[in-house]
Structures are given as C-alpha cells and as structure tokens.
Amino acid sequence: MYFTEDLTIKENVCTKARDVGRDVRHAPSNALTQLDSDAAIDTLVALLQSLNHVDHQAASKSSVDKLTQLKNNTLAITDEDVTKILETFKESLTKEIKRILLNEKDKLVITMDNTGKSITAEINKAGEEQIAIIKRTHKENSGIKSELETKGSDSDQDSGRTGNDIAPGASIESPFKRDSPLCKIKAWLIEQYQSNCVAPVSMLDPDIDVPLERIYVPPSIKELKRGQEDRCGGIETDNTSRGKTDVSCYKELLHRDGNQINTIYIQGDPGCGKTTFSTKLVLDWCNAHSENIISTETNIPTMTTSSKETSKETHFSDLDALRDYTFLFFVSLRDYSGSMCNVSQMVEYAIKSNKLPWDDSVWEHKCVVLTDAADEWYHPDLSSPRPCDYACTCGKDQSMPQYLQRKNITNIITARPWKLANRRMSDSLTRMFQISGVAN
C-alpha cells in the first residue's frame, strides 16, 4: 500500500490534489488569495502525509516542512536554489530534446522524402490540368470573339461580357483597388495571421511552438439548441440531449438554412481546444484569400472540385465558405480586459497601432469578427480617468463587450460555459455550440 487513505473513495487525497493542480493551471490570473493558497497547501500536505511507502517518507517529510514554511511565509528561496532548479530543468530538457531528435531522425527523413515525391507528383499533375484549362479557355474566348466580330459588335461589347460568359474557374477582380486602405489592411491581416498563428507544444515553456497544421486534430463540435442542457445550466435550458452529429464544415457553422448567422457562441471547458480551433479558422481564411490573391495576380484560372474529390475532404476544409468573407478580425479579449469594451474599437486600435490607415467602410463588407477568451475579459472601471475619445455605451449589461450588429457581420465568441450560463440569446440571430474532445 502506497497510501494510508483508501483510494477507492470518490474524493480522496489524490483526486483533491489533482483538482488543486487544475485550478492553479487554469486560473484567470497569476495570483491566489491567501485563503485559496492555504487551502491548496493543506491539500498537498495531506497527500504527502498519506504516503506509506518507506522509500518516499524522507522526501515527503522534507516537502511537508517546506510547504508549511511557504504557508507561514517563512520559506527562504536563495539564489542557489533558483540556479539549481534552472540547471536541472535545462539539463532534463536538453536530454529529452536529444532523445526525441535521435528517435525521430530516421523516421523524419523517410517522411520528408516521401512527402517531397508526393508533392512533386501533385504539382506536376495540377500544372498539366491548369495548362489544359488555360488552352480550353483561350479557345472558347477566341470563338466568342470571332462570333462577336462576325455580328459587327464593337470592342466595348466584346470586353463587357456578363458574368455568365466568364469561363469556369476564371479569376475574379478584388472588390477594391490595390493601393486602397482596405487592400492594405487585408494584406497586413493575412501576413500577420500566417506568421503568428502557431500552437505551443510545451506547458512548461509556451515559447516552444510548431505550425498548427502539424499537430492539429479536428475537435468535436455539437450545436446546443434551446431546451438542451449544458453543464453550467446555460441559456436556462431543459433536460434534453445535444445534437447527435458533429459540425464538420464552416458552412454548417456559419449558416442556418442557408442564411448567415449574426452571432455564434462556442463554449468549452479549459484546454478543450477553443483557441486552437479559432487559430485553425483564422489560418483557413488566410489560405482561402491567399489563393484568390495568387489567382488574381497571375490570371490563372482555378480548378473546380469534382464530387469525388469533395467526398474525400476532411473536417472544416471547405475554404469556399470562407472566401465569401472579405475580412476576418481575430481579437484576443484577454489583451483588452479592463481597458476597452467595444470590439470594433479594439479592431481599429490594433490597425492604427501598426501605422496602417483606417477606413470605416471596412464594416460595409462581409466580415467575421472572432473574439477568443471572453471569460477572461472584464469591463473597464469607469470611475478611473478615460481617454478623451473613449465612450462606453454598454449600459447596465457589462458582462460582455459590445459588438457591431449588422447583417453582413458574423460575430464568433469563444468562452468557458460559466460565462454564457445566464446570457439571453435570440433563436433566430444566434447559435450556440459545445466543443469537446476529438471528432469521431
């Protein structure tokens, strides 16, 4: 027996210690109240004192003494202690990295070689198909031109064919001029998102990250409708089940019965993948519009997708649904907690902070405003002095920031369930989704 306490009991020293670890890791701030700190230390002391194995008693006694000193504010941490801990961590991390690199080196080389061959074959195949489409399009356009000339049409009529006369896959012009403020804003957004949207792989060091597509696994996302139950009693629900099937594409997420949704809430427990899914959505929007930019600049028609290819698409791979949205603004609400309460002002502030010209006509185009970590945002203190151009219109409801409510704007809000528990929502203008685990 390693522990003196019966571990078959539902709440035992181990489960209590586990809960303490979770609460500390997922706390919204880096500080604990004296009461919470004492309770956490008492729980850990109880765990150590419950150890029964003789090999652990000396170490557990030393740990109990240090925890007691920490609780009583008598624990002295010297420079030597800090240096020793850092050196130990550095040595362990170096060994682990070397071990992983040695184990994965051969496998990585083989994978890279196979991937390179596969990519080369796909590029060659795509190039041949594109050349065939270009030749066919040129032939069709030549035939149309000859027919118009035969009928005596002038050059203006020849160049002004309707959208139905454009060959399938032909590139479409940008909705605004290349040097306009809107074009500069969109190009800057794509550049920033593609360079900064990465996924951390270490809880000990968030600076260790990799490109998202290397580790991304589609999450399970199910819709919650009025009359359904979530664990925090959200939207005053009855006791019925969630949707049976996962949402698997952006069109299902952003539309209901073919109509664009005004506000979309995505709730989930800590660590379930809300921020990671938001990052995937941002990168997919970049990819959708990067393809449009390349197509417009090179004037090469894009290939149409056959039904057979479509059936092989993975979760949330329908980039066509994202091409309908001219702009996507990603806002981490934790960065504006206690300082700003209007999301459109947050977006404008971020653009101007990077010395870009701002144009309010941005909001006249179809936009997605994606705000992450709403549970970590709180309203600014209006009693303190505010900037002269700051205006709060929140009224009595200060639980959430203010969003632009327009037919052409879709607001996506991610939060933990407790944040949305008592929020009033419209059946026709809003949707609620639960994200948890991995998709089937």
Query: What integer best gives the mean pLDDT of the chain?
Result: 78
> If phi over 0 gives left and psi between -120 and 50 gives alpha, with beta otherwise, what is residue 338?
left
Least confident piece of the model among 15-19, 68-72, 269-273, 374-378: 68-72
Rounded Cα gap, residues 321 and 366, in angstroms: 12
Output the six-digit token pair for 19.
Answer: 């809960």
Q: Would 5 be classed as within a structural domain? A: no
How sure is the predictor about 297, in pLDDT bands with cuts at 50, 70 and 90?
Answer: very low
Please tell me the total count of domains within the chain.
2
The per-residue DSSP string of 136-158 comes to: HHHHHHHHHHHHHHHTT--HHHH
**Distance from the Cα of residue 327 to its chain's centroid:** 16
Q: What is the DSSP letter of 398?
A: -
Q: Would 96 be classed as within a structural domain? A: no
Terminal CA-to-CA distance of the chain, rounded, Å? Answer: 39
Q: What is the DSSP letter of 240?
A: -
- According to DSSP, the β-strands at 367-372 and 198-200 are unpaired
Q: Are 297 and 290 in contact (CB under 8 A)?
A: no
Q: Residue 236, SS3?
A: helix
pLDDT of residue 60: 81
Residue with tokens 């139950």: 229
Output the six-digit token pair for 393.
Answer: 């219109």
Rounded Cα gap, residues 110 and 88, in angstroms: 34
Residue with tokens 């600049």: 297
pLDDT tens per residue, range 421-437: 888 888 788 999 999 87
Residue 29: is its pLDDT beyond 50? Answer: yes
pLDDT of residue 149: 64
Residue 175: is its pLDDT beyond 70? Answer: no
Residue 280: is its pLDDT beyond 60? Answer: yes
pLDDT of residue 409: 95
Rounded Cα gap, residues 145 and 240, in angstroms: 63
pLDDT tens per residue, range 315-357: 788 889 999 999 999 999 999 998 889 999 999 999 999 989 9
Rounded Cα gap, residues 415 and 274, in angstroms: 8
Rounded Cα gap, residues 409 and 94, in angstroms: 48
Q: Would 406 be classed as within a structural domain? A: yes
Output the six-digit token pair for 428.
Answer: 């026709």
Residue 176: is its pLDDT beyond 60? Answer: yes
Rounding to the nearest 10 degrees, give the CA dihedral for residues 59, 64, 65, 69. Answer: 140
**The domain boundary residue, chosen from 76, 93, 127:** 76
Rounded Cα gap, residues 296 and 48, in angstroms: 66
pLDDT tens per residue, range 112-151: 888 888 888 888 888 888 888 888 877 777 766 666 666 5
Q: Would 424 be classed as within a structural domain? A: yes
Q: What percent of the chain has pLDDT over 70?
A: 76
Output the six-digit token pair for 32.
Answer: 């604990």
Q: What percent of the chain has pLDDT over 90?
A: 23
**The domain boundary residue, chosen from 43, 76, 109:** 76
Rounded Cα gap, residues 117 and 125, in angstroms: 12
Same domain, 193 and 70: no
Q: Would 145 be classed as within a structural domain? A: no
How sure is the predictor about 200, in pLDDT bands with cuts at 50, 70 and 90?
Answer: low
pLDDT tens per residue, range 389-432: 566 777 777 889 999 999 999 999 999 999 988 888 887 889 99
Residue 292, domain extent? 188-438
How sure is the predictor about 312, in pLDDT bands with cuts at 50, 70 and 90?
Answer: very low
Q: Would 128 be classed as within a structural domain? A: no
Same domain, 423 and 285: yes
pLDDT tens per residue, range 231-264: 454 444 444 346 667 888 999 999 988 889 999 9
Q: Would 95 be classed as within a structural domain? A: no
Q: Would 270 be classed as within a structural domain? A: yes
Q: What is the DSSP letter of 165?
A: G
pLDDT of residue 345: 92
Single out the residue of 291, 319, 285 nearest to residue 171, CA to CA.
291
Alpha-helix residue ranges (DSSP H) falling in 246-273: 250-254
Residue with tokens 């959708």: 288
Residue 366 buriedness (CB in 10 A; 0-12 / 13-18 / 19+): middle
Output the six-digit token pair for 183.
Answer: 């074009």
Residue with tokens 């006791």: 239
**164 Cβ contact partners less than 8 Å away, ≥ 6 residues apart:** none
The amino acid present at 384, given as its one-letter code, is: S
Rounded Cα gap, residues 326 and 323, in angstroms: 7
Helices 54-71 and 34-49 meet at what angle, rounded to 10? Answer: 160
Question: Is the four-CA dihedral 328, 330, 333, 335 of positive or negative sign?
Answer: negative
Q: How many helices (H) and strands (E) does the chain have?
A: 13, 10
**The domain boundary residue, chosen from 76, 101, 130:** 76
Rounded Cα gap, residues 57 and 307, in angstroms: 66
